[in-house]
Amino acid sequence: MINDIKKISVSEDKIQSILTRLGNQITKDYKDKEPLFIGLLKGCNPFMVDLMKHINLYCTLDYLDVSSYAGTKSTGNVRINHDLNTNVEGKDIIVIDDILDTGRTLLAVVSLLKARGAKSVKLCVLLDKPEGRVAAIEADYVGDLVPNEFVVGYGLDYNEKYRNLPYIGVLKEEVYSK
């Protein structure tokens, strides 16, 4: 598997320092709150699992599996493949995902959670690819910026594979041009 990787984009060491920084920041920002972390499947793992270990707060977690789709005005259209078990009404929510690209998924999720009565919704992503943005949305917590390259690993997939790489890597073109 690792022979398919052209270069390492975000190393394991860099990921560790991102986890510490974001964990400390969230712990500080939510000092007097009890946030609900909502991970978007499947890309949120292992980022979510590792990030939780750096957060020193009483908190809860749940998972949501959604696919966004483009309508005329693409935003807010979301198909729920697996719903939450938690009632989000009145909750301070932090949505966790691997990457913010076009922004369609997170925009749709924010509208869904607000429509269900969430008190606040913030977004935490490991990676931000600003060049891909279509929807008007930014994350509140960002691990690292990535250029417009095909990145995989640490949750991110290509055809469902490579999620288990311990770092973020750029795929060799020959792998996806086959």
**Chain contacts with ligand PRP (rule: CB under 6 A):** 40-43, 67-68, 97-105, 157
Q: Which residue is nearest to ligand PRP (CB)?
A: 43
CA dihedral (31, 10, 48, 84) in degrees, to 10, reads 120
Helix/strand/coil for 47: helix
DSSP state of 172: P
How far CA 64 is from CA of 37, 39, 96, 97, 174, in Å, comes to 10, 6, 10, 10, 33
Nearer CB in complex with ligand PRP: 33/144: 144
Nearest distance in Å: CB 25, ligand PRP: 21
Rounded Cα distance, 86 and 38, in Å: 10
DSSP state of 101: S
> Which amino acid belongs to residue 70?
A
**33 vs 114, which CB is nearer to ligand PRP?**
114
Decide if 101 is catalytic.
yes
Output 99 or 121, the one with its CB closest to ligand PRP: 99
Rounded to the nearest whole angstrom, what is the least distance from the CB of residue 15 to ligand PRP in the complex?
16
Name which of 33 and 62 has its Cβ closer to ligand PRP. Answer: 62
- Report strand pairing: 168-171 vs 5-10: antiparallel
Quote the least distance from Cβ 145 to ligand PRP, whole Å.
14
114: left (phi over 0), alpha (psi -120 to 50) or beta: alpha
Q: How far is the CB of 138 from ligand PRP (least distance, A)?
A: 11
Which residue in the list 4, 101, 140, 144 is annotated as catalytic? 101
The residues annotated with a catalytic role in the active site are 101
